Amino acid sequence: MAADYDAPRVNEDEAGVDTLVLERTGLHAPTIRDDSDGGLADIDSESWDNRDAEIIVIPLQATEFVCTGCFLMVSRLQLSPDHSHGTLCNDCAA
């Protein structure tokens, strides 16, 4: 027998948690999984309600630089002494 996916669900327990979260939040996000215990990560409704929260961007500090290899912002303590290939972090220069 073919499943009618448009029919309203009688029992919410039969629907997957992923489906319930997406239905309640109106999002079409990929499944968020917590690999630590193999179960679903805790998704409380407050965190989803704050998804439009303001993001504070801190500009590049004098003690930081952007690696031209991995494009990560890292501390100047990780600046490679070899500048022949640009401004690289120690990981990229290795």
In the complex, the residues that contact Zn ion under the rule CB under 5 A are: 67, 69-70, 89, 92
Q: CB-wise, 40 or 74, nearer to Zn ion?
A: 74
Q: Which is nearer to Zn ion, 25 or 78 (CB)?
A: 78
45-83: string of b/e by CB count within 10 Å (b at 16+)?
eeeeeeeeeeeeeeeeeeebbebeeeeeebeeebbbeee
CB of residue 85 to Zn ion, shortest distance in Å:
11
Amino acid at 46: E
- Tokens for 55? 């993001």
CB of 55: closest distance to Zn ion in angstroms?
24
Task: Give min distance, CB of 23 to Zn ion, in A.
Answer: 42
Which residue, 22 or 74, has its beta carbon nearer to Zn ion?
Answer: 74
